[in-house]
A and B are shown apart, each in its own frame.
Chain A
Amino acid sequence: MPEHEAGGTPTLEVRDFLRRRREQIAQRWADEPLFRTVFTVSRDEAVEAGKAVVDALAQVADAHRVEDPDAAGFTEVREQLARMGATRSRAGLSTTQMSSELAALLPPAENLLVADLDQASPELLRECSVTLGVLMGTLRLVAMQTALSEGQALIDRQRLQLLEVATPVIKLWDGIVAVPLIGTLDSARSQVVMETLLNAVVDQHARFAILDITGVPTVDSLVAQHLMKTVAAARLMGAECVVSGIRPAIAQTIVHLGLDLGTVKTRASLADALGYCLHELGANIVNAVPDGAGRR
């Protein structure tokens, strides 16, 4: 056991300890649930990952920034922590459980620290162990930060995807397009709906555009305003807008709220709306067989 000067500050002491015991700490950590479950292929891989984390901690301690999650030393392990976090959350662990798994890394390191500094004064040992605890706490914070930002990035990505997926424009007939709206309409979505619908009106030379709100759970004054805007914009381009799929509950809500949809053509179902548009286009639907069984 190499001698070390008792005069060093606890932070530097911890740094020296981390550098000296790098291999042993990594070996111990590799047996902890966090590393064991993430790096299932080989133990060596887990040990390597553990070493990377130890190096990062030593670097942070070297910079005297044990309490700073933004310390430069953490940047290199951030990606690895994100990968570990993603693996653990795929396994069904909550962020809290992940956090306690990270906390479980502290006792093995602390045991090693106590064994390593058996020559030192109890005073220094205590301070070193506190410093190590703070350092591990900061690591936990970094891991949590990474996990949260990963989650946020995922949500942002999915929101964009949802915008694309949720607004298909369907051509129902020559000159008639329809947008079935599913889910809650907010400002961003209604903007996308408006743009895609108007572009479809140009592309398809549509005289009629049907907005089907069967899948819209509730209509409040904001949603109604978005609908009116879309209808007005379509009208400015020379297409007539019909709003269909107004369920009885929604009709009641609209009346209760006192919303004025007076300028908007409304129909109960998409079929009714299509029928209206076809009639306006001058197309009539007749049964091929006058006495056919399918007559309604």
Chain B
Amino acid sequence: MSEEFSRTVAGHVPVLRLGDILLVTLQGDLYDSAAQQLQQDLSETIARSRVTGVVIDISGVEMVDSFLGRVLAEIAAQTELLAARTVVAGMRPAVAITLVELGLTLPGLRTALTTEVAMELLAQPVVSSRSGGLRQESP
């Protein structure tokens, strides 16, 4: 395969660091390999630098399949283990409906309407988010 192909298909999703927060913006179709690469990149970056939160903006994603849904849930779970919180921001209505119809309600995942709200959410102390400000649901 050409170099361009490997860069766009299997390439990295950029991970931006804003203070204590990592910002990931997903655009268009995300291939499975790229999603897994992102999962790995994120855990390494969090372990290396002491960030407290990850914001994944998926407002540019038209379609989420069960694989990407699971990857999102796994990213959230593994960042939790590394003492950081993940917020998925900007999910489109159609995507939300699709996920629910697939039975993927992603109970452990924090969500926010926009990236801005997600930043505010992460700025709140951990305690308040645990005690009901956020929805902690058992799967």
Contacts and interface: CB of A to CB of B under 8 A. Distances in A.
A144 interface: no
B96 A234 contact: yes
Contacts of B135: 235, 240, 263
A207 interface: yes
A20 interface: no
Interface stretch (A74-82, A105-113, A149-157, A197-205): A197-205
Q: Which of A198, A207, A236 has the most CB of B within 10 A?
A: A236
B91 A239 contact: no
B105 interface: yes
Contact of A233 (B100, B109, B133): B100
Interface in A183-199: 194-195, 198-199
Given A194-B97, A195-B93, A237-B96, A207 B113 contact: yes
A76 B100 CA distance: 50
Q: Which of A207, A229, A280 has the most CB of B within 10 A?
A: A229
A182 to B, nearest CB: 22
A216 interface: no
A240 B121 CA distance: 13
A206 interface: yes
B3 interface: no
A282 to B, nearest CB: 11
B114 A236 contact: no
Interface in A268-288: 280
A246 to B, nearest CB: 19
A238 interface: yes
A231 to B, nearest CB: 9
Contact of A236 (B91, B117, B138): B91
A238 B97 contact: no
Contacts of B95: 236
A61 to B, nearest CB: 56
B68 interface: no
B26 interface: no
Contacts of A194: 97
B111 to A, nearest CB: 4
A232 interface: yes
B96 A280 contact: no
A198 B93 contact: yes
Interface of B: 88-93, 95-97, 99-101, 105-107, 109, 111-114, 117-118, 133, 135, 137-138
